[in-house]
A = this chain, B = another copy of it.
Amino acid sequence: MALDHIQQQVQQVAAAARVASRELAAATSSKKNEAVRAMAAALVQRQQQILSANAADVESARRAGLGAALVDRLTLTESRLKEMVASAEAVASLPDPVGTVLREWQRPNGLTIRKVRVPLGVVGIIYESRPNVTSDCATLCLKSGNAVVLRGGAESFQSNRAIAEALQQALQATGLPAAAVSVVPVPDRAGVDAMLQLDHEIDVIIPRGGEALIRKIVETSRIPVIKHAKGVCHVYVDQPADLAMAERIALNAKCQRPATCNAMETLLVHAGAAPAFLPQIAAKLQAAGVEVRGCERTRQMVPGAAEATEDDWSAEYLDLILSVKVVGSLEEALAHIARYGSNHSDAIVTTDQAHAARFLAEVDSACVYVNASTRFTDGFQFGLGAEIGISTDKLHARGPMGLEELTTYKYVVLGSGQIRE
C-alpha cells in the first residue's frame, strides 16, 4: 500500500473515533454498561468466526517460523475466550468514574468551581500478540467513556479484526457508535507510524510490549505516551529480618510467575544476613530451576552461581534467572536500586521500622513494599477491579492503571455575570 494511502486510512479511522468519543462522553453509565454486556454476549455469539480467524493467524505464524512462546500467546481457545467474556462482564459491574465531582469550592466573587472527572477522549493502544488485549482494552475504554484505536501485532491481525467486529456489532445494537472501537486497518509498521502522528485525533498512547517497541514509540510519537516499560524489581533482605519470611517472599517474587513485569529480577542481601540466608535460599531457587548469577561474595557462598556482569544488574530476565548481590548496608541497597532499578516495584524485608520507613521514602518506584512480595503490583490484587496495564511513568498514572486512570478532569465554572477586575 502506498504510504500516503496508509496515512489517509489511519487518519480516517482516528477521526471517526474522535467523533464517536464525543457521543461516548455524554453516554449514561447504564447505556455504557448495556454496551459492555452486549460486547461480552457478542464474543460468545461470534465464537466460531473469532476462533477460525485466530486459527488462520496461528497457521501463518507457524509457517513464518515464529517461536513456540509467541504462538502460544497468540492462540485463542474456547477457555481463553471464556476468560475474555468474564473480564468484559466484570468491567460492566465496576463503578463508572465519569462525572464524579473531585472537588467543589466557591470563590469570594461568588464563582462556583467544580473539578469533574471526564473521559480522556480517544485512547490509542499499541500491543503485541495476545488477542485478549483487544477486548480487555476495548471494554475498559468504553466503560470509562473513551473511544479506542487498537493496533495489535501484525501476527494477530485477523483475530483482532474478528474480535473488533463482534464488539462493534454490540455497540451498534445498543445504539452507540461502532467507531468507538476501531482497529488500525493496516497490519504493517507504517500503520503504527501513521497513528503516532495523529495528535489532533488521539489523546494518549498506551503501549504494551517489549522494551524496543516502547523506545521506538516514545521516540516517534507526537501524542503523549503512558509507558508500560520494564520491571527490574528488587527484593532487599535487610539486617535484621525474619529470614523465613524473606525466603517465602523471595521464592514467590521470583518463581510464582517469572514472565511478568512485577517478578523479582535482583535479590539484594545485607552482608550480616547473607551467611544465614543466602546458601539456603539459593539452593531452593536452584531447585526450582532458577539460574543464579551473583556478585563475588554471593559466589563464595552459593555453589554453582555464575558471575553476574554489569548488564545483569539492569536486566529484565522475565525468566527463571536471578541476579544476587550482597550489600554492606541499607544505603548501598538504596544506591543500587536508584542506579539499576526501573522504578516499578521494590520490596524490603526487615524487622526494623526505621529501615522500612527510609526504604519507602527513598526508593522512587511506583510501588514500594515492606514485608510482601512484589508480585502484588496488579490492578486486581490492588482491588481496582480491572487493569489496563502498569505504568512505569510518573505523569498522570503510576503503577496499576484502572478505570480512573483512563479519565482526566475539567473545571466547570458557574457564574452570575462575574468579570475580572
Chain B residue contacts of A377, Cβ below 8 A: 411
Taking a contact as CB atoms under 8 Å apart, the answer to whether A410 and B224 are in contact is no
In the bound complex, CA of A105 to CA of B383 (Å): 9
Which of A75-83, A152-160, A175-183, A390-398 contacts its partner? A390-398
A421 to chain B, nearest CB (A): 8
Taking a contact as CB atoms under 8 Å apart, the answer to whether A218 and B225 are in contact is no
Fill in one digit per residue for A1-44: 1 if any B CB lies within 8 Å of its CB, else 0: 00000000000000000000010011000000000000000000
Chain B residue contacts of A218, Cβ below 8 A: 199, 222
Fill in one digit per residue for A335-353: 1 if any B CB lies within 8 Å of its CB, else 0: 0001000000000000000
Is A95 an interface residue when CB atoms closer than 8 A count as contact? no
Chain B residue contacts of A360, Cβ below 8 A: 412
Taking a contact as CB atoms under 8 Å apart, the answer to whether A408 and B382 are in contact is no
Closest to A99 in B: B361
Taking a contact as CB atoms under 8 Å apart, the answer to whether A410 and B222 are in contact is no
Find A373's partner among B120, B338, B369, B420 (CB 8 Å cutoff). Answer: B420
A330 to chain B, nearest CB (A): 14
SS class, residues of chain A in contact with chain B: mixed
| Residue in A338, A375, A394 whose Cβ sees the most chain B Cβ within 10 Å | A394
Taking a contact as CB atoms under 8 Å apart, the answer to whether B219 and A219 are in contact is no
Known: A362-B22, A413-B370. A408 touches B420 (CB 8 A): no
Taking a contact as CB atoms under 8 Å apart, the answer to whether B417 and A249 are in contact is yes
Taking a contact as CB atoms under 8 Å apart, the answer to whether A371 and B417 are in contact is yes
In the bound complex, CA of A399 to CA of B154 (Å): 39
Is A239 an interface residue when CB atoms closer than 8 A count as contact? no
Is A376 an interface residue when CB atoms closer than 8 A count as contact? yes
| Residue in A25, A256, A393 whose Cβ sees the most chain B Cβ within 10 Å | A393
Find A242's partner among B121, B203, B245, B417 (CB 8 Å cutoff). Answer: B417
Closest to A257 in B: B420
A145 to chain B, nearest CB (A): 11
Closest to A242 in B: B417
Known: A25-B361, A121-B364, A222-B218. A111 touches B417 (CB 8 A): no
Is A184 an interface residue when CB atoms closer than 8 A count as contact? no
Closest to A253 in B: B419
In the bound complex, CA of A368 to CA of B383 (Å): 34
Taking a contact as CB atoms under 8 Å apart, the answer to whether B382 and A113 are in contact is yes
Taking a contact as CB atoms under 8 Å apart, the answer to whether B204 and A372 are in contact is no
In the bound complex, CA of A373 to CA of B109 (Å): 12
Chain B residue contacts of A245, Cβ below 8 A: 417
Known: A107-B381, A204-B394, A394-B121. A419 touches B373 (CB 8 A): yes
In the bound complex, CA of A312 to CA of B226 (Å): 34
Taking a contact as CB atoms under 8 Å apart, the answer to whether B419 and A249 are in contact is yes
Is A85 an interface residue when CB atoms closer than 8 A count as contact? no
Is A367 an interface residue when CB atoms closer than 8 A count as contact? yes
Closest to A106 in B: B383
Is A129 an interface residue when CB atoms closer than 8 A count as contact? no
In the bound complex, CA of A368 to CA of B413 (Å): 6
Is A173 an interface residue when CB atoms closer than 8 A count as contact? no
Taking a contact as CB atoms under 8 Å apart, the answer to whether B398 and A410 are in contact is yes
Is A409 an interface residue when CB atoms closer than 8 A count as contact? yes
Known: A338-B22, A408-B395. A417 touches B372 (CB 8 A): yes
Find A393's partner among B224, B251, B366, B418 (CB 8 Å cutoff). Answer: B224
Taking a contact as CB atoms under 8 Å apart, the answer to whether A420 and B26 are in contact is no
Chain B residue contacts of A204, Cβ below 8 A: 394-395
In the bound complex, CA of A326 to CA of B242 (Å): 75
Residues of A within 8 A of B (CB): 22, 25-26, 105, 107, 111, 113, 118, 120-121, 199, 203-204, 218-219, 222, 224-226, 242, 245, 248-249, 251-253, 256, 338, 360-362, 364-373, 375-377, 381-383, 393-396, 398-399, 408-420
